[in-house]
Amino acid sequence: MKKLVSLAVLTALLAACAETTQTTGEYGSDGFGEETLVAENLNDAYLLAPAPRYYIGNAYKVEDVQYIPTEDFTYNQTGMAGIIPTELNGTKTSNGETYNMNQMVATSKTLPLPTIVKVTNLENGEDVIVRVNNRGPFVNTRVMDLSPAAAQKIGLTNQSKIQIQVLPEQSIAVKNATIGGTTEVKETVAPVAEEPVAVQPEPKPVPVAATGDYSVQVAAFYAEDSANALVGRMRNYGDAVVVKEGDMFKVRIVNLDAASARRVIDTLRSNEGMAPGLLKNGRWINADSI
């Protein structure tokens, strides 16, 4: 009889442990559960928490190199990474968050804030999922700086070559949470057949002039394949080409007159959420000057 009681108690304890294990993977205040968290290592709720604002920003230069922040869910680049200084702990980031050096966060020159990315240390193969929530680093020798906690996670003690891959589902989820959007990341159940479904027309390409003095720069990449991936989509807006300048591959829509350039810039801002730059005869000018 004593053995039977012991087995019953053991069974109850195992059942209680199983219930506890099932609940530890869920998330509370941010509203995202395991179904959304496709990537591994997304253990921290703040990674997908709403930000004070969804920030892309305007084009800017670092040491005469032009950077154009843009939304790119196919982003996959390699480069050198460093570590965010500890003295910046507690300061405000570019999208209004408070930098916490103990969280898995990072900076980027062009990615929207926040964006969720996987960072791999190419020197040892270790990887970490981080939330990009600040601009920088403002030097051309590095593509990203990591918080001390994230750097330690992948064995980065000074500078290392890394690979940065945007996680599109998670990035869309945190964007929607921030801006209050309702777009679903995963497919939803189709409407019943008898209910008419309104079909949204495809956006029409922006009419452009055959020749002109203006070019609209959409993005700049260190990886040529990233530029080639974007330029195909940009041909909906005009004569899109990839221009190599130094180590960078720049996606531009060329041969525009002033009126066409204005339309392209406005359409890219509204349709794509981009912050394009503007050149006239190869020289940078203010995108809102025409």
Domains and CATH numbers, the chain: 45-179 (2.40.40.10), 214-285 (3.30.70.1070)
Q: Among all chains, which residue has been given the structure tokens 């998670």?
A: 170
Residue 63 has what pLDDT?
A: 82
pLDDT over threshold 60, residue 119: yes
Residue 11 has what pLDDT?
A: 39
Q: What mean pLDDT value characterizes the chain?
A: 78
d(CA 131, CA 146): 10
**For residues 195-214, average pLDDT:** 54
Q: Provide the 10 A C-beta neighbour count for residue 225.
A: 12
Beta bridge partners, 81, equal 144, 160
pLDDT over threshold 60, residue 43: yes
* CA torsion through residues 91, 92, 94, 95, sign: positive
**For residues 164-175, average pLDDT:** 93
Residue 131 has what pLDDT?
A: 97
Global pTM value: 0.53
Which carries the bigger pLDDT value, residue 236 or residue 146?
Answer: 146
pLDDT over threshold 50, residue 204: no
d(CA 77, CA 247): 13
Top-ranked range on mean pLDDT: pick from 206-210, 268-272, 277-281: 277-281
pLDDT over threshold 60, residue 25: no
